[in-house]
Amino acid sequence: MDAQFWDQRYSSQDQLFSGNPNPALIDETADLPPGQALDAGCGEGADAFWLARRGWKVTAVDVSRVALERAAAQATDTTDAVAWARADLTATGPPAGAFDLVSAQYFPLPKQPDHAALRRLLAAVAPGGTLLFVGHDVTDMPPDNDRGFDPGAYYQPHEVAEHLDDDWRVLVNETRPRTAPAAADNPHTHDTVLRARRLR
């Protein structure tokens, strides 16, 4: 699932995703005061737009050039509030302690023996800031899928929670029904949601 994979996938359709912000993002951040946000794996930008329109300054990162160009072309009223950045967050981490919100919505972060990429992502959350890590419930995943995608190779929210030490307070760590309709090629009916606050 590298840059070439995602560029090809985005290029296969004029619009890959719904254009609506993810429901878990709305549910879990509506009560947060706006600040600096990192949208990890921003795709076509729906979450970044939603945050920007609520006063957040957003750094929207994706590995796909196609997705970023598509998102930037739609950013008519959020030009000054969103910075689009092409980067592979598995190799290059965001600035440490820079964000009041780090949002990773269905972001396929591959597991590493030293957990380096995950540790860099966690380190990007400023003291007092929020981590929101959302995934598909893997029990919804069919045993065989034509993309050859192994969910076990990627961090799930409950696994991210296991890497949080006493500097964190876990506020939500649960599985919940999806409130948005699933795409035709997406069988998932439940999301797994981790919301945690960095204490120091």
- Give the tens place of pLDDT for each residue, 136-193: 888 766 555 555 668 889 999 999 999 999 999 999 999 999 876 655 555 678 999 9
What topology does CATH give the domain 3-9+32-198?
Rossmann fold (3.40.50)
Lowest mean pLDDT among 41-45, 71-75, 132-136, 166-170: 71-75
**What pLDDT sits at residue 127?**
98
pTM of the complete model: 0.88
State how far Cα 42 lies from the chain centre: 7
**What pLDDT sits at residue 95?**
97
- Give the tens place of pLDDT for each residue, 112-138: 999 999 999 999 999 999 999 999 888
**What pLDDT sits at residue 11?**
74
Sequence ranges of the domains in the chain: 3-9+32-198
